[in-house]
Amino acid sequence: MKKPVMREKIVVAGGKAAWQLADEINGLPSETTDDVRKSIELVADLKGTRSLLVPMNFVSMRGSALDNKETFTMKKMTPSR
């Protein structure tokens, strides 16, 4: 789901009595610096809403369509200098 749509749905639904739950998968093989920036903005925008965002890192799984992609690691989270 695209982040602007996700933000809109959580903010609108969060105004009701229920909590909104979502997973955020980090480190997908096609993820760009702009995607990371948008993820950070999404978390900031959701502050004060009734939402729980669970961050997860991409893990390549045998037999999946992405099984030949490298798993997201701490080293990949750290900017290169």
pLDDT computed for residue 1 by the predictor? 47
Exposed, middle or buried: residue 7 (CB in 10 Å: 0-12, 13-18, 19+)?
A: buried
Over residues 33-42, mean pLDDT? 88
Over residues 10-22, mean pLDDT? 67
Please give the biggest Cα pair distance in the chain.
Answer: 46
> Does residue 48 register a pLDDT over 80?
yes
For helices 3-14 and 33-45, angle between their N-to-C axes, nearest 10 degrees: 10
Over residues 33-61, mean pLDDT? 86
pLDDT computed for residue 22 by the predictor? 84
> Does residue 72 register a pLDDT over 50?
yes
Question: Model pTM greater than 0.85?
Answer: no
